[in-house]
Amino acid sequence: MATPLVGAIMVAAALSASLPVMPDEAGGWTAAAPADRYDAQTIFQYIDGHGEVYLAYGMTACLARRYAGPAGEGDIVVDAFEMATPADAYGVFTHTREGGPADVGQEASYGYGTLAFWKGRAFVTAYAEQETPRAREAVLALGRAVAASIAETGERPALAGRLPRAGLEEASLVYLRHPRILEAHVPVGPDNPLGVGPVAPAATGRYRVEGGAADLVLVEYRDAAAAEGGAARFAQAFLDGDRPAHRDDGWCAAAGLTDRLRAYVLRAPSREAALGLLAAAKGGAP
């Protein structure tokens, strides 16, 4: 199946095909068959539609394995994705996490029977088709076994650390390199006015501000000219010239942080809240 995302940020040519090792058994759940393997061209045979999310983060390979549990328990499915970079593994984790934190991999979440974590270039999910206390323990056991097989670790992308922490709803923090992922979290519109892409990554978060909440998006452009172009498109779409403007969904504002880094605020409850969030972004301290 052709997709506009394939090739958009795929940087796999020089990458190894190393993937986590999936155990044959954990917590009383046993695999009846070896793991299935998919690549960027065949992933839609396994994940129809949602595969584009993984391609947007530079997926190079995927292993999938099903485990059968004891009588009366549902199956558990483990998916392990090799992403282009550790930053991409972190990014897809931030895009998909739900529930509360879990002690697996470098960062993990568990909720509604699903464990998700990242480590190195790997992003892994394990989900129970029927959530029970015993299945939850098996999901965590499988996740820890897979994480233990991953020798590589990675750093959070520095751009994510540039988001100010005061008022940030931590679970809303998302790192991305594709406009469709940004649009899934912040209503910037379908035409990519911010110019987000493979060489213009972004980090976004939802903030508690006086009178409500607001979105902050940081975009790190390739050069000063690209940053000026992104800022100009944002101003045309959202601002009153170069001044904050009110839209149906709230106030918008923008600021330059460095020659290549721009900050954008959307859906703020007031002009003062929008400018206050920009001032926090200019502070630059996590």
CATH number for position 132: 3.40.1000
Read off the pLDDT of residues 111-164 as tens digits, 9 standing for 90 and up. 999 999 999 999 999 999 999 999 999 999 999 999 999 999 999 999 999 999
Asked if the model's pLDDT at residue 14 lies above 70, the reply is: no
Indicate if 100 and 162 belong to the same structural domain. Answer: no
The mean of the pLDDT values for the chain is: 91
Ramachandran bin of 49, using left for φ above 0, alpha for ψ from -120 to 50, beta for the remaining angles: left
For residue 212, being part of any structural domain is answered with: yes
The tokens for 145 are: 């076994």
More confident residue, 247 or 8: 247
Question: pLDDT band at 7, cuts 50/70/90?
Answer: very low
3-state helix, strand, coil in the chain (%, to 5): 30, 30, 40
Number of domains in the chain: 2
Asked if the model's pLDDT at residue 285 lies above 50, the reply is: no
Task: Identify residue 249 by its one-letter amino acid code.
Answer: D
Read off the pLDDT of residues 171-182 as tens digits, 9 standing for 90 and up. 999 999 999 999
Radius of gyration of the chain (CA): 20
Q: Residue 45 sits in which domain range?
A: 25-148
Indicate if 64 and 181 belong to the same structural domain. Answer: no
Asked if the model's pLDDT at residue 286 lies above 70, the reply is: no
CA 25, CA 29: separation in Å to the nearest integer?
A: 6
Cβ atoms of 87 and 157 within 8 Å: the answer is: yes
CB atoms within 10 A of CB 176: 27
For residue 129, being part of any structural domain is answered with: yes
Domain boundary among 148, 168, 193: 148
Read off the pLDDT of residues 36-69 as tens digits, 9 standing for 90 and up. 999 999 999 998 777 899 999 999 999 999 999 9
